[in-house]
Every structure is written in structure tokens, then in C-alpha cells.
């Protein structure tokens, strides 16, 4: 197996163009497990760890551009205030060791329906920046990034450069159900983001369909019904209906981690809970604060 170690982003793209079968490795927390278990044995590994650009983030024109190689530990510490939903999701990934190495780029590359960052990226309207030497940059809305179970929109000669997301302008929450509290693949998960300036709600459903997905009907219903200006208490009927619509958006299966019925039920509970937390936060904030 060849081990390719480009020093720069331009070199990495050139290597990927020349060796499209080379498997990128960032933290290696998915890649090395699969190699150890002989799931597949790539002809070459493309190690991205020396590419410094991938480990950087910046804020430009009001949007965050986070390099694909920024590990969870840094995302939580450095961006937790600006991307609270994604930081919450990151805190639930594996263990401290996994969070020190693992990255959002790797979660996107693996494109597992159970990956923890996907619901938060969906709720926050993230855009994935990918690039190839031949065709340059493509900006892919995260809703279009997931194509099937462990399949994403990357072409063989493309690499993930970064994800883009606006800093949170309202409350964001992530919730995950596992068979224990840590080191566990999600039975199912849910993320919610309030976008008060646009009077809009974002959602993301994880581990309950072949791909992570938004609960679009639930978003539309809630966006139209919430008392954005009056900030009154949340009606029980509203959160209940929201939970039902989230549940209807899922297409789960029975597997070793849980039944489809359990997943649907759990999603409706997580939807109601995250909405209650987010709405309580919104009500407690000073009007106008969210628009800043």
C-alpha cells in the first residue's frame, strides 16, 4: 500500500487527480478501523495531516469557513459559542481520544447515516466546499451532499476542503439516543436550529433513514406557527404536532441498535424536547439580540 503525504492543498489535489483510488485519511478514526478489520485495503492512502490549510478556520463576510481537518476538540473549544448545535453533537462523538483526532471532514467523507455532525450541519444550512485540480471548487449545500448509505456527492478526484456555516443567530440544540452515554453509535439523533431573523426553523434527522435528512414539513409547520414576535409560551399542541411531523420525516429500519418503531417514537420525543429548550432560550433573550 502506498502512503502519499502531500505538504500543501495544491499537492493534495494533484495527487488525488493522479491517483483517484487513493483513500484520504485525516484523523483515521474511520479509515484505520476499516483497514484493521479488512473491510477494504486501498492501493494507496492519501494522508492529509500535513496540509495546514485544512486545520484552519476563519470568519469572512459573516460566515464561518471551517477546514475539513479541524478536530472535534478544537471545534468545541474554539467555535462552541458560534456553532453551539455542532459543538453539542461533537461532544457526543466517541471519547476524548476520538475527538482529538476525528474531524467533521471525516464524518462527511464517511457519510454514515449515523454520523453525529450531519443533523447539526443540516439544521444550520451548512455548505460543503469540495475541490478538484481539474474543475476547481464546488459548493454543495449539505442537503445535496448525502446520496445514500455511506455515499456522498464527492467525485473520485475531489477532496473536501471545508464546510461553511453562518454563526448561530438563535438557539441550537442536538440530541442523540444511544444504548449508553458515551462511545456509542446513535440509535437516532435530532438537531434543531432557530433562525429568528428569517422566522425559520432548521432541522436534521440522523440514523433514521438511508441518509441524514431534514424534516422539511416539520420545519415549514413550525416556522409558520411560532409566536416569533410575542415570544409567548410554547403550546403543547404545537410541540406535539412538530414531534409527529419529525417522526413522519423518518424512514428508519429495524437493526441491532433499535427498531424502526422505537426510532420514530424517540425522534418525536427529541423533537419536542429540543424545541422546548430552544424556545425557552429564545424567550429569555433580549428582543433583537438574535439579529446581531
Applying CB under 6 A, which residues contact ligand FAD?
23-31, 33, 48, 68, 92-94, 98, 101-103, 105-107, 109-110, 115-116, 154, 159-160, 183
Cβ proximity to ligand FAD: between 107 and 274 the closer is: 107
Residue 98 CB, shortest distance to ligand FAD, in Å, is 5
For the chain, state the CA radius of gyration: 19
Residue 265 CB, shortest distance to ligand FAD, in Å, is 22
Cβ proximity to ligand FAD: between 185 and 269 the closer is: 185
Residues 50 and 15: their CA atoms lie apart, in Å, by: 14
Cβ proximity to ligand FAD: between 28 and 80 the closer is: 28
Residue 64 CB, shortest distance to ligand FAD, in Å, is 17
Cβ proximity to ligand FAD: between 107 and 268 the closer is: 107
Residue 6 CB, shortest distance to ligand FAD, in Å, is 11
| Consecutive H or E run containing 76 | helix 72-79
Cβ proximity to ligand FAD: between 158 and 244 the closer is: 158
Handedness of CA 105, 106, 107, 110 (dihedral sign): positive
- The x, y and z cell numbers of residue 37, run together, are 478489520
Long-range contacts of 63-66 (CB under 8 A, 24+ apart): 63/164, 63/165, 63/166, 63/167, 64/164, 64/165, 64/166, 64/167, 65/129, 65/162, 65/163, 65/164, 66/104, 66/162, 66/163, 66/164, 66/165
Residue 69 CB, shortest distance to ligand FAD, in Å, is 7
Amino acid at each position: 500500500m502506498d502512503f502519499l503525504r502531500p505538504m500543501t492543498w495544491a499537492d493534495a489535489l494533484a495527487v488525488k487527480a493522479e491517483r483517484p483510488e487513493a483513500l484520504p485519511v485525516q484523523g483515521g478514526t474511520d479509515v484505520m478501523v476499516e483497514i484493521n478489520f479488512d473491510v477494504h485495503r486501498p492501493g494507496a492512502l492519501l494522508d492529509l495531516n500535513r496540509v495546514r490549510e485544512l486545520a484552519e478556520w476563519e470568519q469572512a463576510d459573516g460566515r464561518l469557513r471551517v477546514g475539513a481537518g479541524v478536530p472535534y476538540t478544537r471545534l468545541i473549544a474554539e467555535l462552541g459559542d458560534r456553532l453551539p448545535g455542532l459543538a453539542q453533537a461533537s461532544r457526543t462523538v466517541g471519547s476524548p481520544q476520538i475527538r482529538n483526532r476525528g474531524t467533521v471532514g471525516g464524518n462527511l467523507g464517511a457519510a454514515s447515516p449515523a454520523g453525529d455532525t450531519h443533523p447539526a450541519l443540516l439544521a444550520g444550512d451548512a455548505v460543503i466546499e469540495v475541490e478538484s485540480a481539474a474543475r476547481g471548487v464546488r459548493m454543495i449545500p449539505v442537503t445535496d451532499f448525502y446520496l445514500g448509505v455511506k455515499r456522498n456527492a464527492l467525485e473520485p478526484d475531489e477532496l473536501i476542503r471545508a464546510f461553511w456555516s453562518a454563526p448561530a443567530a438563535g438557539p441550537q440544540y442536538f440530541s442523540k439516543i444511544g444504548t449508553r452515554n458515551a462511545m456509542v453509535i446513535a440509535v437516532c439523533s435530532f438537531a434543531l436550529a432557530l433562525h429568528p431573523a428569517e422566522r425559520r426553523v432548521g432541522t436534521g434527522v440522523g440514523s433514521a433513514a438511508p441518509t441524514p435528512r431534514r424534516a422539511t414539513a416539520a420545519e415549514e409547520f413550525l416556522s409558520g406557527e411560532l409566536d416569533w414576535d410575542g415570544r409567548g409560551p410554547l403550546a403543547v399542541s404545537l410541540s406535539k404536532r412538530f414531534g409527529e411531523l419529525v417522526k413522519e420525516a423518518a424512514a428508519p429500519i429495524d437493526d441491532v441498535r433499535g427498531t424502526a418503531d422505537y426510532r420514530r417514537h424517540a425522534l418525536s420525543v427529541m423533537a419536542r424536547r429540543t424545541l422546548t429548550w430552544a424556545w425557552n432560550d429564545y424567550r429569555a433573550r433580549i428582543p433583537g439580540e438574535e439579529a446581531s
